[in-house]
Amino acid sequence: MSPRASPAFSTGGPFTPSTGASSATWRGPSSARPKPKPKLHHEGAGRGEGGAFLPTPQTAPAPSPNVKAMRVLITGATGGLGGAFARALKGHDLLLSGRRAGALAELAREVGARALPADLADDLEAKALLEEVGPLDLLVHAVGKAGRASVREAGRDLVEEMLAAHLLTAAFVLKHARFQKGARAVFFGAYPRYVQVPGFAAYAAAKGALEAYLEAARKELLREGVHLVLVRLPAVATGLWAPLGGPPKGALSPEEAARKVLEGLFREPVPALLEV
């Protein structure tokens, strides 16, 4: 990998310990609960291999003509977390994807990005998108969907919908993505203790499948010098919660969640698992 200038990166403030949840359900954190620090679990191999161009966020310069921007693809950019990442990474060579073309175009205008709508549960649409964007320095796959049903009620539609949104989209994106050496690819799993609860079997299964898929994929991608980072978040106040009646009290704001993830992401060695 040829030496590269440091990319611009702004986290909007100094590192702050996370608002981690200690609840036994997927109701998210309460502001009254203790606030553990983010836990970083490192890759056994490839340590320090990537990120030569990725400084610690506290010292990273703001975007400037002398600083090489990262090529970043944010999928799920029309969502709460995706939108927050897009705004936090403004100034980079940003490519945004989502299914709702109108909302995507509006966000792209706001942050100076390209809008590339795609349904990523469709292999061919994923292929077309990833061919269009070319080699990436950073991928943030903020795609997902939530749904609640008891196991007595959950039908094929719900189970398939969860698997499509979480597992298939990630699998197709990874299948077709091309990366620069040292790139990071971020995916959102789930704390088992929050999602393996009544009413969330289908969501929990989809996240479990995603995490297992990523664990094997991470080892494959490391051979290409690409760092796959699995992120686990507590509840974040986004539209994901709309079908569930809204986010729980104490949920992180999407901006806060994105900031914490970006801070952990650019540490050395690169974390394989980042628990906020």
Ligand X SMILES: NC(=O)c1ccc[n+]([C@@H]2O[C@H](COP(=O)([O-])OP(=O)(O)OC[C@H]3O[C@@H](n4cnc5c(N)ncnc54)[C@H](OP(=O)(O)O)[C@@H]3O)[C@@H](O)[C@H]2O)c1
Q: Which residues bind ligand X (CB under 6 A)?
A: 76, 78-82, 98-100, 119-121, 142-145, 165, 169, 188, 190, 233, 235-236, 238-240
Complete DSSP assignment for 115-167: E----TTSHHHHHHHHHHH-SEEEEEE---------TTT--HHHHHHHHIIII
Least distance CB 99 / ligand X (angstroms): 4
Nearer to ligand X, 8 or 235 (CB): 235
Nearer to ligand X, 146 or 222 (CB): 146
**Token pair for residue 245?**
């009646």
Least distance CB 220 / ligand X (angstroms): 21
Nearer to ligand X, 8 or 136 (CB): 136
Least distance CB 121 / ligand X (angstroms): 4
Nearer to ligand X, 8 or 74 (CB): 74
Nearer to ligand X, 4 or 39 (CB): 39
Q: Which residue is nearest to ligand X (CB)?
A: 79
Least distance CB 238 / ligand X (angstroms): 3
Least distance CB 79 / ligand X (angstroms): 2
Before 269, cis peptide (omega within 30)? yes
Nearer to ligand X, 119 or 215 (CB): 119
Least distance CB 157 / ligand X (angstroms): 14
List, in sequence order, every residue forming a beta bridge with 90; answer none if it has no partner: 92
Give the pairing type, strands 114-115 and 227-232: unpaired
Reference 140, options 228, 37, 225; nearest CA is: 228
The CA distance from 267 to 249, in Å, is 30
Nearer to ligand X, 11 or 97 (CB): 97
- Give me the torsion for CA of 12, 185, 130, 225, rounded to 10°: 130
For every residue of 179-226, which 3-state class applies, written as one string?
A: EEEEEEEEEECCCHHHHCCCCCHHHHHHHHHHHHHHHHHHHHHHCCCC
Complete DSSP assignment for 2-43: ---PPPP---SSS---------SSTT---TTS--PPPEEEE-
Least distance CB 189 / ligand X (angstroms): 7
**Token pair for residue 140?**
């943030």
- Cβ atoms of 276 and 260 within 8 Å: the answer is yes
